[in-house]
Homo-oligomer: A and B are copies of this chain.
Amino acid sequence: MVVYETVSDETDRIFHALADATRRDIVMRVVQREQSVSTLAASYAMSFAAVQKHVAVLERAHLVVKERRGREQLVHGNPETMRKATLLLQHYEELWRYRAQRMRDILSRDVSPKKEGEDS
């Protein structure tokens, strides 16, 4: 039984969902126009069930949303999560740049090895 769920778990699911070419392609298609699962399935050289599973992975990551209409299930993109993913990476990247710069600053300034927590 899953009691709670960390940001980390959600990040795992988003990146994992995007780590597959078929799923990235599905995302691109459904953002252009919402499509039924079977329409999507017709586009790929794999079974309907396989595509269904890919959609499920995207759905768990909240990158797409399914909406029933009659007997069809329409899949459409969820820009909010996409935005979240981008911001996530941007955050990482900024942190990276910041730290790299900070390290360069330290290196250029100092000869004496200060520990990180240190204050003067």
Contacts and interface: CB of A to CB of B under 8 A. Distances in A.
Interface of A: 8, 11-16, 18-21, 24, 27-28, 31-33, 77, 79, 82-83, 85-86, 89-90, 92-93, 95-97, 99-100, 103
Contacts of A21: 8, 11-12
The prevalent SS among residues of A at the interface is helix
17 contacts: A11-B19, A11-B24, A12-B19, A14-B19, A15-B15, A15-B18, A16-B16, A27-B96, A31-B95, A32-B103, A79-B96, A79-B97, A79-B100, A82-B96, A85-B89, A86-B89, A86-B92
A96 B89 CA distance: 17
